[in-house]
Amino acid sequence: MTTSFFPPQRTLMGPGPSDVSPRVLGALSRPTIGHLDPLFVQLMDEIKGLLQYAFQTNNELTLPISAPGSAGMEACFVNLVSPGDTVIVCQNGVFGGRMKENVERCGARAVMVEDAWGEPVSLDKVAAAFADHPEANTLAFVHAETSTGVRSDAEALCALARDNNALSIVDTVTSLAGIELKVDDWGADAVYSGTQKCLSCIPGISPVTFSQRAVERIQSREQKVQSWFLDMQLVMGYWGGSAKRAYHHTAPVNDLYALHESLVMLQEEGLENAFVRHQRNHHALVAGLEAMGLSMAVAAEHRLPQLNAVNIPDGVDDANVRSALLNDFNLEIGAGLGGLAGKTWRIGLMGFASSEHNVLGCLTALEAVLTREGASINASAALPAAQAHFSGQ
């Protein structure tokens, strides 16, 4: 007989999902009600308001797509991009490659602007691409590249798109609630995120927001959106603010209780305070890692506080270390992706998991495992360095 599944209590310090707060898990287990129940409709309105706060936007079309971040990505592309369009796609890690796939599957042409993994998107290259392709009507880029731990200048990229009469599609899956993100001030047009990174909610929901310019483009499409499920004109009838909600699909009722709770927690803390907390824990972690003798993979000015890429010391077996952390310490950190596989670890400090406790725990576990692996590190240096950082603040 197959029996119930009881997962272990891990500490999730990889590229996501991140640790989910007990408050959010508690909300998830509340009684399921109908998705057209008047009380649920009220909850949907509150979620919309809370998401507008998280995204710093007044966009009317702001809602959670009932599917993971990748579906939010696809929703932005299939609604904004039509066959024959030219889209400038920035790639400096894994996720830009997926954007290209999306553009091509929409029957459009992707003009690629490539930067090395570990570097931010080059504004000069994007400007040059617009100069070479005046027909381009969309710019797509990733704000926080989770595969490398790099932040790109989203504000400047959105401005470049506007200056060239293009709409911007912005991946904020890892940036939302972790680093500054100002959808309205920056003039971002189609923005998608995920719930399992810095919101520390369960995986499987994708908050999105569309500017008025994006809505106008969607409404003036000549061809139907090829995806029925992600067609915003239809989804709007369900999530739209007014009067009667039309059935589109059954919302993941309990998942949305969880999202609501995580957004309430974000509001209680305040966005600015959340950013400060992410910065502080990041600096303490880096201080500890460097004191241990490890080096960071990304230049200081481009680092994401929520995703720390660390160079794996020579002679150390990547997989051994990660499995020892998991098996002996219940601690998950991320492997490198693509060209960085075997070369870097990715240590997440996202949302609820971005805590002093996790910084100190991770440094302790990593030091123990690396010592056992015979790596030449400075023993006993990491904790004091991190602690000095915490007490110095």
Binding site for ligand PLP (CB under 6 A): 16, 68-70, 73, 95, 142, 146, 171, 173-174, 194, 203
Residue nearer to ligand PLP on the CB measure, 146 or 308 = 146
Q: How far is 95 from 70, CA to CA, in rounded Å?
A: 10
Residue nearer to ligand PLP on the CB measure, 194 or 207 = 194
Residue nearer to ligand PLP on the CB measure, 16 or 288 = 16
Nearest to 147 by CA among 299, 337, 335: 337
Cβ of residue 177: shortest distance to ligand PLP, in angstroms? 13
Copy the structure tokens of residue 101. Answer: 């796939």
Residue nearer to ligand PLP on the CB measure, 178 or 288 = 178
Copy the structure tokens of residue 393. Answer: 């603040």
Cβ of residue 203: shortest distance to ligand PLP, in angstroms? 6
Residue nearer to ligand PLP on the CB measure, 164 or 172 = 172
Q: How far is 350 from 321, CA to CA, in rounded Å?
A: 21
**Longest Cα separation, the chain:** 66
Residue nearer to ligand PLP on the CB measure, 205 or 294 = 205
Cβ of residue 110: shortest distance to ligand PLP, in angstroms? 17
Pairing of strands 331-335, 307-311: unpaired
The DSSP code sequence of 258-292 is HHHHHHHHHHHH-HHHHHHHHHHHHHHHHHHHHHH
Residue nearer to ligand PLP on the CB measure, 152 or 164 = 152
Q: How far is 312 from 295, CA to CA, in rounded Å?
A: 8
Residue nearer to ligand PLP on the CB measure, 164 or 175 = 175
Q: How far is 195 from 273, CA to CA, in rounded Å?
A: 19
Residue nearer to ligand PLP on the CB measure, 108 or 176 = 176
**Residue of this chain nearest to ligand PLP (CB atom):** 69
**Structure letter (DSSP) for residue 143:** S
Which residue's entry shows tokens 């880029």?
Answer: 141
Neighbour-count burial of 112, counting CB atoms closer than 10 A to its CB (0-12 exposed, 13-18 middle, 19+ buried): middle
Cβ of residue 53: shortest distance to ligand PLP, in angstroms? 21
Half-sphere exposure (CA, 13 Å, Cβ side) for 92? Answer: 27
Cβ of residue 287: shortest distance to ligand PLP, in angstroms? 25
Cβ of residue 266: shortest distance to ligand PLP, in angstroms? 18
Q: How far is 182 from 59, CA to CA, in rounded Å?
A: 12
Nearest to 48 by CA among 254, 275, 242: 242
Cβ of residue 291: shortest distance to ligand PLP, in angstroms? 28
Residue nearer to ligand PLP on the CB measure, 87 or 382 = 87
Cβ of residue 278: shortest distance to ligand PLP, in angstroms? 15
**Structure letter (DSSP) for residue 20:** P
Copy the structure tokens of residue 3. Answer: 């029996």
Cβ of residue 52: shortest distance to ligand PLP, in angstroms? 21
Alpha-carbon dihedral sign for residues 269, 274, 276, 279: positive
**Structure letter (DSSP) for residue 3:** -
CB 173 within 8 A of CB 156: no
Cβ of residue 288: shortest distance to ligand PLP, in angstroms? 24
Q: How far is 153 from 304, CA to CA, in rounded Å?
A: 12
Q: How far is 37 from 34, CA to CA, in rounded Å?
A: 5
